[in-house]
Amino acid sequence: MREISALQEERLKYRPKLAGILKNGIKNIDVELKGKTSAVKDKEEINKLFSNIYGKELIHFISSDKEQTFDVKNVGVILSGGQAPGGHNVIAGLYDALKQANPKNELYGFLGGPSGIVDGKYIKFTDDFINQYRNTGGFDIIGSGRTKLETEEQFQSVWVQCKKLNINAIVIIGGDDSNTNACMLAQWLDEKNTGIQVIGCPKTIDGDLKNDQIEISFGFDTATKTYAELVGNIQRDANSAKKYWHFIKLMGRSATHVALEVALQTQPNITLISEEVEQKKMSLQSIVDYVTDIVVKRAEMGKNFGIALIPEGLIEFIPEMKVMISELNDILAVVENDNASASKEEKYALIEAKMSANSANVFKSLPELIKAQLMMDRDPHGNVQVSKIETEKLLIEMVSQKLEALKAQGKYNGKFSAQSHFFGYEGRCAAPSNFDADYCYSLGYNAFALIQFGFTGYLSCIKNLTKPASEWAAMGVPLTMMMNMEKRHGKMKPVIQKALVEINGPVFKELEKNRENWALNDKYIFPGAIQYFGPADVCDITTQTLILEQKEAVKC
């Protein structure tokens, strides 16, 4: 047994609540099929690429009076991509359902992500081993990785490893890219008549894997509550010291669900939303002006402090920055290859000379710190790693310069002292909230139900999540239903469509109607730590995002 804290010891004893019909046990459910489906976009292309698994029905699990008996089925499980709270409970739910169905069933965990199943690195789960990880954060039970399953050679290796272990099905726990790979693997295995099933589970703290069927990805609830606690603590400090502006960058490169949810939980003075910036075609300078205006107004009220939330991916949503970075990606390789010995200033000059006039002006306007970050740390494809750009420091620098100019004109007489923060890894492996512990356990249990009834190419789905767990619905959603075609590395590829923040949606509208009030009047909320023990209205609450979206769905 691993050494554990007193809290973890108590959490190991927690019995997750199972979704609705699943609580009757794996042997007492049946299936109901509810109509054929199609892709969200690019239907013809997706149908052609996934002809064996395209257009399948939605699956609803229902109660059965007749107790089922099941043959032996061995299952392999993979954790794919970045960590998210609750992953261990998905595996625990899968394991418990599998053993309930037939004690001779075996669950194999492939080590280090998708590469584990390609290379044949695995462990076989036992009661004693899995019991050490129930209701805990992290993916350390088998580790994770970002290897993509997409080549013929990889698929062949997967088949070989499954035959060696007599594996009948594979569960891939991951985000949109990981479940895109699950869809491709399901198609290949079905095409080859291997009889091996593939089921996905929706994971990502970013909250961008959702649609009409998938209400929320697991981990989002815990991660946002963790970040909200930290932001609340900083707000309390700011409101006590009354002398610092805190610029806080929050994880979420492709969408701003995390920052938006944290804002609704804590009510900071400023919240920037990347999708709004893009839709309104806001320039970097207009963002700086917006932030500066609030700083000045608060200073006039004697408040030289405040909180600003900044999404990790903001830079990529600012139109002129997006164009400039695209040009920079093409220019950098040439400049660095041909001018390896050039000084930093000489490289800047060469880059500006090769850029369009607008992009050159944007590049020149950036602080030295950001220029240096743009010049280094490129990804394997040679592109700037935008997530590593310290946007919070960029805004602090530019707001500071604007305030100095206003002070010189006699239009500002306050004090601006700023602190920068980035909250990302702090939330990815937190101990799952009761909501995520229950939700993830149900997702894993439900994944085995899909396997037991012979389905492949499906995503495990639990719905009605704003209701008590006893009323949650257990379903299966065809992976092809969520697919569309997008350009990746210059080629059109099938991918699961990301869900961005909807500017006309109920969650953003809630922020929008309160922004002005929160900007000037300190309406800070201090959520405190995640609570695991106590009344349900404290311990089992879910996110504002889910509550608002489901309320809107009911109205519609």
**Domains with residue ranges and CATH for the chain:** 220-428+505-555 (3.40.50.460)
Tell me which residue has tokens 């991660």: 223
For position 380, what pLDDT does the model report?
58
Q: How far is it, in rounded angstroms, from Cα 102 to Cα 71?
A: 7
Among residues 340, 365, 367, 369, which one has the least CA distance to residue 355?
A: 365
Rg (the chain; Cα; Å): 25
Q: How far is it, in rounded angstroms, from Cα 238 to Cα 244?
A: 6
CA dihedral 153, 155, 159, 161 (to 10 degrees): 70
For position 462, what pLDDT does the model report?
98
Active site residue 71: no
For position 182, what pLDDT does the model report?
96
Q: Which residues contact 484 (CB under 8 A, 6 or more apart)?
A: 39, 40, 41, 42, 46, 494, 495, 497
DSSP type of residue 145: B
Enter the tokens of residue 489.
Answer: 């590395």
Alpha helix stretches (DSSP H) within 255-318: 257-266, 274-279, 284-300, 314-317
- What CA–CA distances, in Å, run from 180 to 184, 193, 198, 254, 479? 6, 20, 12, 16, 8
Tell me which residue has tokens 């099938």: 494
Beta strands, E only, 435-482: 458-463, 473-478
Tell me which residue has tokens 């994971």: 203
Asked whether the beta carbons of 462 and 110 are under 8 A apart, the reply is: no
Among residues 137, 313, 309, which one has the least CA distance to residue 231?
A: 309
- DSSP assignments along 154-202, one per residue: HHHHHHHHHHHHT--EEEEEE-HHHHHHHHHHHHHHHHTT---EEEEEE
Residue 308 exposure: Cα atoms within 13 Å on the Cβ side: 26
Task: Per-residue pLDDT tens, the chain, 556 aa: give them.
Answer: 567 899 989 999 999 999 999 999 999 999 999 989 999 999 999 999 999 999 999 999 999 988 888 899 999 999 999 999 999 999 999 999 999 999 999 999 999 999 999 999 999 999 999 999 999 999 999 999 999 998 999 999 999 999 999 999 999 999 999 999 999 999 999 999 999 999 999 999 999 999 999 999 999 999 999 999 999 999 999 999 999 999 999 998 889 999 999 999 999 999 999 999 999 999 999 999 999 999 999 999 999 999 999 999 999 899 999 899 888 888 876 766 666 667 888 888 888 999 999 999 999 988 888 888 887 766 655 667 777 789 999 999 999 999 999 999 999 999 999 999 999 999 999 999 999 999 999 999 999 999 999 999 999 999 999 999 999 999 999 999 999 999 876 689 999 999 999 999 999 999 999 999 999 999 999 999 999 999 998 999 999 999 999 988 777 5
For position 68, what pLDDT does the model report?
83
Q: How far is it, in rounded angstroms, from Cα 433 to Cα 450?
A: 26
Q: Provide the residue type at 113 as one letter.
A: G
Please pick, among 190, 206, 221, 522, the residue that the annotation labels catalytic: 206
For position 249, what pLDDT does the model report?
97
For position 340, what pLDDT does the model report?
61
